[in-house]
Amino acid sequence: MKIGFIGLGIMGLPMAKNLMKAGFSLVVHNRSRRPVEELASLGAQAANFGREVVQRSDVVITMLPDSPDVREVILGKGGVLEGVRSGMTVIDMSTISPRVTKEIAEALAAKGADMLDAPVSGGQKGAMEGTLSIMVGGKKEVFERCMPIFKAMGRVVVHVGDHGAGETVKLCNQVICALNIVSMCEGITLCRKTGVDVGKMIEVVSGGLGASNIISNLAPKILRGDMEPGFKLRLQQKDIRLALQLAEELKLPLPASGLAHQIFRIAEAKGLGDKGTQALIKAYELLS
Ligand code: NAP
């Protein structure tokens, strides 16, 4: 089976490499060309736009930043829709609006193609190690057919419902993660201000009820002053925005998410959008 892969950033590049390791042939495309050249040197075929990718593959995966990017790559000029054939499957693994996913699924269905929304959790580390959690929306039989593809990139792979359900579950995940980042930064800021050793606080908290993957992955980076992105702060901000939009459609209050959105906004306004989510600590440094 030949897989087309579009969007080779922090997540897409290692995910594509794991597909190649599992024996799939790849046709790849990315806006900047460096990751395309890297994969071509490992045996992948390079392509220049979405239509070219889909014409040369059986299944197409997209891993792009936001809803407008996925819409452009699939529905835009020279996009996937122009070259898609009946019976093909498009799997979008980006975190985007559930509403936009449903629109794209309808456009593909009109050409006889299937769509799965299959966003992931587990970060850059999970992408590199092939241990992502993958939450999938779409037809159950299409999901089952694509299982070997998912298993090459992830460990926990769950069909969660119809089109848009994967993105909905991912937004719930992102609310939990965002608030966890905020609470970690508040704990660290409080500890710093008292003069007690932050490293010791993290060590003991990590063995108790306050432990979390967020703390074990991000607190050591904060302690080292390492703000490089595993997950860009502006993408976390996008995810809270999407969760708040979904809550708005449901007339549902998510007060703590609203507050987190504003705190992340402070960090973004300070030019930290392309840093990792742990750079939220800088917003707290400004406030304290
Ligand atoms: P990223 O590093 O910014 O990668 C996005 C990639 O898409 C970049 O390589 C970019 O190319 C490419 N791209 C953008 N527009 C394009 C277009 N029109 N045509 C072709 N390529 C295009 O982001 P990421 O961290 O990999 O995240 C990707 C998605 O996964 C996002 O929806 C994010 O929310 C989600 N996610 C991320 C993580 C994480 O920990 N990083 C975890 C779970 C989910 P350029 O090189 O030109 O910028």
DSSP assignments along the chain, one per residue:
-EEEEE--STTHHHHHHHHHHTT-EEEEE-SSSHHHHHHHHTTPEE-SSHHHHHHT-SEEEE--SSHHHHHHHHHSTT-HHHH--TT-EEEE-S---HHHHHHHHHHHHTTT-EEEE--EESHHHHHHHT-EEEEEES-HHHHHHTHHHHHTTEEEEEEEESTTHHHHHHHHHHHHHHHHHHHHHHHHHHHHHHT--HHHHHHHHTTSTT--HHHHHHHHHHHHT----SSBHHHHHHHHHHHHHHHHHTT---HHHHHHHHHHHHHHHTT-TTSBGGGHHHHHHHH-
288 CA → ligand 1 middle, Å = 33
Per residue of the chain (288 residues), give pLDDT as tens.
899 999 999 999 999 999 999 999 999 999 999 999 999 999 999 999 999 999 999 999 999 999 999 999 999 999 999 999 999 999 999 999 999 999 999 999 999 999 999 999 999 999 999 999 999 999 999 999 999 999 999 999 999 999 999 999 999 999 999 999 999 999 999 999 999 999 999 999 999 999 999 999 999 999 999 999 999 999 999 999 999 999 999 999 999 999 999 999 999 999 999 999 999 999 999 999
User: Which residue has tokens 């549902």?
Assistant: 252
Please, are residues 26 and 1 in contact by the beta-carbon 8 Å criterion? no
Q: How far is the CA of 141 from the centre of ligand 1 (A)?
A: 28
**CATH no., domain 169-287:** 1.10.1040.10
Q: Which residue among 102, 111, 151, 170 is the active-site one?
A: 170
Which amino acid type is present at position 68?
Answer: P
Q: Rounded to two decimals, what is the model's pTM?
A: 0.97
Would the CB of 64 count as within 6 Å of ligand 1?
yes
Domain boundaries, the chain: 2-161, 169-287
pLDDT at 1: 86
123 lines ligand 1 (CB under 6 A): yes
170 is catalytic: yes
Pocket test for ligand 1, best of 17, 63, 234, 275 (most atoms within 8 A of CB): 63
- Nearest CA owner, ligand 1 atom 9: 9
Predicted pLDDT at 94: 98
Q: State residue 6's pLDDT score.
A: 98
In tens, the pLDDT along 143-164 reads 999 999 999 999 999 999 999 9
**What is residue 21's predicted lDDT score, i.e. its pLDDT?**
98
> What's the gap in Å between 111 CA and the centre of ligand 1?
27
Q: Is 33 in the pocket of ligand 1 (CB under 6 A)?
A: no
Query: 60: CA distance to ligand 1 center in Å?
Result: 16
**Ligand 1: does its nearest atom lie under 6 Å from the Cβ of 6?**
yes
Ligand 1 touching residue 72 (CB < 6 A): yes
CATH number assigned to the domain with residue range 2-161, chosen from the 4 options 3.40.50.720, 2.40.50.140, 3.30.43.10, 3.30.300.180: 3.40.50.720
Atom from ligand 1 closest to the CA of residue 29: 20
